[in-house]
Amino acid sequence: MIKVASYNMRKSIGTDRRRRPERTLQVLCEVGADVIALQEADRRFGTREAVLTSHLLAEHGDWKPVLFGMRARSMGWHGNALLVRKDAEVLDCEAIHLPTLEPRGAVMADIRLRGEVIRVVGMHLDLSGLWRRRQAATIIAHLAASTHQYPTVLMGDLNEWSAHAGVLRDFGQHFRFADTGKSFHARRPMARLDRIMVSHDLAVEEAGVHASLSARNASDHLPVWATLRPA
């Protein structure tokens, strides 16, 4: 069994408008996932420095970042990052360039954990429905063209307010959605912007939204999670 989670951490700026990376890490520890897709994990301007520094993760966390090597001080690519348990083996990783008018991207890694290999994609899609659909098509095509195929998990902030249309319909032709629940806004969840999707060779055992007091204060999104097993 593998537990995965997705979290738009909003650069560790909470609903109190204070930047507190230690609070973000506390929420991640509460969730306790084996693999975590983060969105808005880097600062927006300048060197795009990671908000959760390697030192902070090493000192207080059970995870290590997947290193994509895109920017020297960033954790991921356009704010998208992946954390894995320290005993996990990262077999391969890459950034996926998405069509967009503003900085957007996705990240992908093949991870061996407890003898199982899964492919994980983290994403943060555009606010525009047209560009979201183009980005979804790019991710789906990229996965289909991959030489090696593995059980696949896609996670992230899709920015899709529709219940069934748009990118949900596009991704739904190839993947199944975990029934996680409403994750935005953290103080009063009204929308399922954050999603976890799996290929048909994976089964979702449980899924949900982590809505602790810390999570309600740490970001404007709540983390979503799912436990998975081979189908």
CA distance linking residue 9 with residue 215, whole number of Å: 10
* The pLDDT of residue 60: 75
Amino acid code (one letter) for 70: M
Q: What is the pLDDT of residues 67-123, one digit of tens each?
A: 987 665 778 889 999 999 999 999 999 999 999 877 788 999 999 999 999 999 999
Residues paired with residue 191 on neighbouring β-strands, in sequence order? 184
The structure tokens listed for 61 are 């966390």
Distance of CA 148 to the CA centre of its chain: 22
| Whole-prediction pTM | 0.95
Contacts of 139 (CB under 8 A, 6+ apart): 96, 98, 106, 121, 123, 154
pLDDT at 182: 97
Residues in the chain predicted with pLDDT less than 50, given as ranges, are none
| pLDDT value at residue 46 | 56
> What is the domain partition of the chain in residue ranges?
2-230
Looking at the domain 2-230, which fold is it?
Deoxyribonuclease I; Chain A (3.60.10)
Per the structure block, which two tokens stand in for 100?
């967009």
Question: How high is the pLDDT of residue 104?
Answer: 86
Contact 134, 99 (CB under 8 A): yes
Task: Return the residue matching tokens 């390697």.
Answer: 54
Closest CA to 166 of 201, 208, 126: 126
Q: Which three-class secondary structure state does DSSP give residue 168?
A: helix
What helix, strand, coil percent values describe the chain, rounded to 5? 20, 35, 40
Whether the Cβ atoms of residue 55 and residue 61 lie closer than 8 Å to each other: no
What local confidence, expressed as pLDDT, does residue 12 receive? 96
Share above pLDDT 90 across residues of the chain, in percent, rounded to a whole number: 83
Residue 145 is which amino acid? A
Q: Are 36 and 4 in contact (CB under 8 A)?
A: yes
